[in-house]
Each structure stands twice: as C-alpha cells, then as structure tokens.
Structure 1
Amino acid sequence: MEKALYIDCFSGISGNMMVGALLDLGVDFLFLKDELKKLNITGYNIVCREVKTGSIKAKKFDVEVTSPQPDRNYGDVKKIIGDSKLDTGVKKISLSIFQLIAEAESVVHGCEVDNVHFHEIGAVDSIIDIVSTAVCLSKLKVKLFYSNIVPMGSGFINSSHGKLPVPAPATVEILKKVPVYGGNFDFEITTPTGAAIIKALVKGYGSVPYMEIEKAGYGAGNIESKEGPNVLRLLRGVIKNEYDIREEKLIMLSANIDDSTPEIIGYLMEELFKKDVLDVWTEPIYMKKSRPAFKISVLCNEKSEKEIVNMILVESTTLGIRREEIKRYSVDRELKTVKLPYGEVKVKVGILKAKEINFAPEFESCRKLAEVTGKTLKEIYHDAVLFFSKR
C-alpha cells in the first residue's frame, strides 16, 4: 500500500487553493508558519480561515504583502530556496514547480530562464504558495499523485504583461501533454502556478484510482462562480486492491531486425537501458527467406514512449516499430540490506498483503562487494540468500 493524493480540480487549481486544501487535510497551520521562517523573506503574512463557497466548507489561504518587495528573477528564487534551511525534499518539490513556470515564461516572452522577470514567479505570494505546497506535501508523506482532466477556463485577464487570454500563454505552455478541457467557466480557473503543481507531481490522469480514501480536503479560490463552488478538492488515501497487487498500463515496443550486426544491437540495448525503461530484451528469430534476425523489445511507460521510439529508429536499421498496450500485475517491492561477515548486500523483496513472498540479492550490490573483497559472485549470492533467510 502506498499513500496517494487525488487532485480533484473540477473548478481549476491555483497555488492558494492547493495550500488551503492541504491545510484542510490536517497539516498544522502553525507548523507551516514555522517552516516558512526558514526562507529569508520578510514583508508578508499568511492567513487561513474557514469559508463557505456554494454550500461547501473550505479553507481559504492567503498571503498578505505588508511591505514592498524587491524585483526578483528565477535565479534569485533558486538562490533563496537553495540557501534556506528547508528540508531537501521540500526544496526539490519547490524548485521543480518553479522550473516549469520559469521555462514556460521564457518561451512565451523569449528570454533566458534564469533571467525571467515576471509577476507570477517574482511575487512573494507565489513563492509562499509554492513553498507552502511543498512543505505540506512533505509533511503528509504522499508518494503517488493523480488528477482528473484539467479545466482551463476562458475569457481574458489583466496581468503585469497587459491583457492576456485565458488560459494564460504560460499556462498553455506548462500544460502541454496534459489532458485538458475548456470548462464552462468564463474566468481563469487554472493559473500557471496551479498548472505547474499538477505537471510537477501528477503521473496519472482520469477518474479516481482504486484507492481507500482516508480524508478529503477543500481549498477555496478567490472567485464566486455561478457554475459551481470554486474549490479544489484533495482526496488523501492509500492505493490498494483486493490482493494488494498493482495493476499498471504499460507500452511494449518491438522491432524485427535482419540487417544489423550484434555489436550495433548490443550498443542499442545499452543505450536503451540508460533511458526511462522498465526492461529491454532481444530474441533470435528467423524471417523471410530463412534470414536469421533479432527481435528487440522494450517495456516502458507512455511518458517515455516517444523518446524510446526515436532512439530505436535512429540507432538501428529498422524502418518501423510495433506498439502494444499491455497490462502488468506486480507486487510491492522494497530494497533491504543484509549484513554479511565481510560486508553488506542489498536484497530486493517482494511483498504481498504485508508478507515477504520472494527475495533476491541485488546484482550490482553483489558485484561491487565481489570487487572489493575478492570473493566470487556466486559465493556472495549464496551467503546473501543464507543470511537473509536467517534474519
């Protein structure tokens, strides 16, 4: 079982809506306030109050600017976060969100990423919204993120760059390759910050995954709408099914190659393993006119599919690739350590319904220990299995 968060953005998403919903899930407001003190930023105050939007009770989070703020670019923001005493995980999440916004703004306005000067990233409220999101997520220890299809709204907004269409150009840039729709809202319901939060975190889009909901949190937006409550709903829970077996949709790519050399095929396999793939393998086959050939297959996620296809076409002699959508079942895995008389070895463990059902010494860990100790690989494998079984 893994902790999961479903972002139900039926009314869009913004930075302050996200923070409000996370606080409504149970993150302590005073804890957040203390964590934000680790940023070397002054001239602001944060408030959180309970409101009703439509008939739904929600938390409304706001940043009140109490004194003028200096002009900041993305380079300044990176330094502020990097020099802070925030936890490493909080810094990583914060910077991944800021990076998406900065890259989008640099494309829209035609400037270098680090030199981007714009209201969305330079304003203290955006900095606090994003870092607060990271602090709350770290506190909740969520590992998996899902979202419904993202609504964008319509109309026009006034910004520091003048009048802009909705969705804002930066929002469109950020949401490339993310499933979206316009919605019935005639205002900006998904902001660049909200879009970047989703893009940085979410791995799956659609309906609520098979999960056990533990709590729901609601964060209020700034605009009252006739189309429905302007709130963001977060569902916190654990991903599980009847047998605690994972069900994944994966992509299998394959090509039959009869006009290449073993050296080229071997090199291609090595390069593919460096990418975001789950497995790569080859099979000896016979093709027309009894030609001996290779069948190369790659298992990957849809996210990395295009990159893998491009590599196979560029690095091999094939002119086409087959694609199949497959379903894979798997159990939870953990990497544990077993102590041997002469060192330590990592062991991969399969877990089903909270029980260890299988294990195997991790090859690279065994190989490194063999190089250091001079013992044979098979001896280390044998000892790792023996000592792990006797725990």
Structure 2
Amino acid sequence: MKTAYFDCSSGIAGNMVLGALIDAGLELSFLKNELKKLGVLHYSLLVTKTKRGLVSGTHLNIKTEREKSPRHLKDILKIINQTKLSRDVKQLSSRIFKRLAEAEAKVHGEPISKIHFHEVGAVDAIIDIVGTAIGLEKLGIEKVYCSPIPTGHGTIKCAHGILPIPAPATVELLTGVPIYSSGIKGELVTPTGAAIITTIASDFIDMPRLKLETTGNGAGSRVYPSLVNFLRVYIGESFILSTRDTIVQIETNIDDLNPKSYGNVISKLMKAGALDAYTIPVTMKKGRQGIALTVLCEPDKRDAIVTRIFNLTTTFGTRIFLVPREKLSRKFKTVKTKYGKIKVKVGSLGQEVMTIAPEYEDYKKIAKKHHLPIQKVYKKITECL
C-alpha cells in the first residue's frame, strides 16, 4: 500500500504540505492545470527551491488579490464541487473545509452556516487544501500517517485580534492528537495545516515501516534561528502495521516427568513472568514418548525462567532463541452484557479492529455465578460485541 508519513518536527502549514508533495515528485505543471479547474479564483503560484539551514526543499508562495468579503463554507464548497476535478479530490477537499468550519464554529459558539473564514477562507487556503488533495491522488497515496505535532508559543495577530499560540481553532482541530511543546516562539501549526493533517492522517505515530521510494521537504515561510523549518514527507510501500518486538523462546524435551506435574509446572512458570507456556506431545529418540515444553518470555526474564524450568522439571538442558514477534495493538474495554460488565480484549492493525475477544476469567466467573455452560456464556457475550 502506498503510504505517506509526514514528519512535523518543525510544525505544519498548508503551503508546507503542498510544498512537500511537490518536492516529492508532484509535477508543478500538472498541479497548475488541475487547479485551473477552480475557475473563478485569481492567484499565482510562486514555487522556489530554497534552504532552511543547510537543508534544501520547496517553498510555495500563493499570490492572491485581496478578498472583497469573507467567504462562508457553502461558498467554498460551491467553488470546489462545481469544478471538473475528480470526485475523490472534491470529496477530500470538502471534508477538510468542513472540519475547519466545525472547529471555527465551536470556537466562536456560532452555527456553522454563520462562520466567516477570514484569512482561512482566502484563496491561498483553497489552493493549499485542494492542491493537497490533488497531490495525494496523483502520487497514488492510499494511506497517510503523521508524527506527533509540536506547538509553538506566544501570540499572533489575526482578524479576531491578538490570540495565543496555538490559535483556538488550531487547538480544537488538534483535540485527540498527540502534541508537545517545542519551546519555539511562533506559530508552528496553522489552522489550515491542522485541518489538512487531522483529516488525511489515519494515526499520529512514530514512523511506520516503509520501503522508502521518495521524500520531499516543504519549506515554511518563517525563518527561525534555532529551527530548520521544513515539513518532511516520506513516501513508500508500507509493511504490515503490526507492532514488532523480540522475545525469548525457551524449549526443552522431557520424557521422564509425571504427566500430572505439567499443570503445576506451567502455572509456576507463568507466575515467574512467562508470557506463555505450553506443551506438545513428541516422539523422541529410541521411540520414547515425551513432552516438548516451550516457554515465551521477555529477555530480562530469561534467567529466572530457565532456573524455574530446572527446579520444576527433570530436564538436563534447554534451547534458547531470540524470536521476532509481530503483534496486533491491544487494548482492553469493559462492555455491558445481560450478565453484567465484562472485560474484552481488542486487537487492532493500525486503525482497523481485527479481533475482539472476551477475557476467559471473566466469562468463566459469569458461567459459575449463573450455573451455565461456559460455551453458552461465551456465545451470548460475543453476540453483544
């Protein structure tokens, strides 16, 4: 899957997003031809190669005529949707503007229909947003992820007066997004940039594993003495979006331990810190029947687990491996059922929920309490999920 990852270590603005996509390979001539479909807007694009510090990238400057009056959301959506742009471009552009309008409406305590966009409704914001949608489609990007977002500090003068940084609309747009203070004085995240990235990004995470194909640097308009003001985009084919780690796998074959002892062995290994422990029947040399004991644990538990295996079994030795592991992201939720509250485990691959399973000990207690077969309880609970 073609994936883009935006590294916002210097912040994000609308022109930085579009500049990064141009720097990553979006042809300027194609972009200009597509933007001409907007028709009624009067503007010119100034695209230049520039440096911030020792890093080169693309800076996008949009020259526009002064707007006669602020635009409402319906005016902007009309401009977008009456064009011959592709359906996906129009839908994504509209979603971004609707998200921006909702944030402004909440901040001002006004119905969305009464919101005037002021600076945000100007032509340059329309170009930034529609241009981004055009770029994502042209570059074939199917999935977008983003880093946590830094916020500057201080104040900024705008149509509503002097506001704290981040601006109120920006704060509203970033609700639910991991943010942090970078210590830089200035507006690192604009409302347009926040609206774009919070609409297109599936998650805000460390960089996922990619087979990297290209990168692009979108230069910010401001120059900071202690900040290389670029938005970097990485584009490539993504690998499976599971969580990866490495654990220890400990194995031993046993043929002379009383079979009744294995329950106690596994119980005590789990209490000693094992992630899992299980047995498999095996046929050993000379045709003897035996048991293969396998224990999984974190690396720092290795010695404790090996010691417990020697204490609890008759083995003379173990085999130890470092094993890569791919995992779904896990979280626990409590759900209500006809039998009461029960804890369930949710496994996700990226943002997609792959599996939901009730906790065994919870539905075991319910079965015992209501004198019901455990499988019947399990079935009823899963029907509620």
Moved more, 168-177 or 197-206: 197-206
Question: What TM-score do you get using the length of structure 1 for normalisation?
Answer: 0.67
In 2 relative to 1, CA 112–257 (structure 1 residues): closer, same or farther, beyond 3 Å?
A: closer
Moved more, 234-243 or 126-135: 234-243
- Give matches, 1:75-154, under 5 Å: 75-154=74-153
In 2 relative to 1, CA 22–297 (structure 1 residues): closer, same or farther, beyond 3 Å?
A: farther
**Contact persistence 2:208–2:241 (CA under 8 A):** no
**Contact persistence 2:97–2:195 (CA under 8 A):** yes
Task: Give the corresponding residue for 1:178.
Answer: 177
Gaps of 5+ in 2: 243-324, 341-351
**CA-to-partner distance for each residue in 1:279-306, whole Å, 9 max, x for gaps?**
668898623252466346679xxxxxxx
**Contact persistence 2:337–2:381 (CA under 8 A):** no
CA distance in 1, matches of 2:201, 2:333: 24
CA distance in 1, matches of 2:328, 2:94: 29
Moved more, 287-296 or 111-120: 287-296
**Contact persistence 1:53–1:230 (CA under 8 A):** yes
**Contact persistence 1:218–1:232 (CA under 8 A):** yes
Task: Give the corresponding residue for 2:197.
Answer: 198
Task: Give the corresponding residue for 1:21.
Answer: 20
**Contact persistence 1:148–1:208 (CA under 8 A):** yes
- Which amino acid in structure 1 is aligned with residue 228 of structure 2? P
In 2 relative to 1, CA 72–215 (structure 1 residues): closer, same or farther, beyond 3 Å?
A: same
CA distance in 1, matches of 2:127, 2:326: 36
2:354 paired with 1:287:
no
- Give matches, 1:25-104, under 5 Å: 25-66=24-65, 68-104=67-103
* TM-fit CA distance, 1:250: 4.4
**Contact persistence 1:59–1:219 (CA under 8 A):** yes
Task: Give the corresponding residue for 1:6.
Answer: 5
Task: Give the corresponding residue for 1:249.
Answer: 329
Q: Secondary structure at the match of 1:38?
A: helix
In 2 relative to 1, CA 255–157 (structure 1 residues): closer, same or farther, beyond 3 Å?
A: closer
Largest Rg, 1 or 2: 2
* TM-fit CA distance, 1:242: 12
Instruction: Note the aligned Cα RMSD (angstroms).
Output: 2.8
- Which amino acid in structure 2 is aligned with residue 288 of structure 1? K
**Contact persistence 1:15–1:126 (CA under 8 A):** yes
Task: Give the corresponding residue for 2:291.
Answer: none
- Give matches, 1:258-297, under 5 Å: 259=339, 278=354, 286-288=367-369, 290-291=371-372, 294-295=377-378
In 2 relative to 1, CA 298–13 (structure 1 residues): closer, same or farther, beyond 3 Å?
A: farther
**CA-to-partner distance for each residue in 1:218-255, whole Å, 9 max, x for gaps?**
01111111222111000111112699x98542445465
In 2 relative to 1, CA 256–80 (structure 1 residues): closer, same or farther, beyond 3 Å?
A: closer
What is the count of residue pairs matched by the alignment? 284
Question: Identity of counterpart residues, as a percentage?
Answer: 37
**Contact persistence 1:43–1:68 (CA under 8 A):** no
Question: What TM-score do you get using the length of structure 2 for normalisation?
Answer: 0.68
Task: Give the corresponding residue for 1:208.
Answer: 207
**Contact persistence 2:67–2:122 (CA under 8 A):** no
In 2 relative to 1, CA 280–182 (structure 1 residues): closer, same or farther, beyond 3 Å?
A: closer
CA distance in 2, matches of 1:78, 1:287: 59
- Which amino acid in structure 1 is aligned with residue 233 of structure 2? L
* TM-fit CA distance, 1:259: 4.1
**Contact persistence 2:3–2:141 (CA under 8 A):** yes
Q: Secondary structure at the match of 2:135?
A: helix
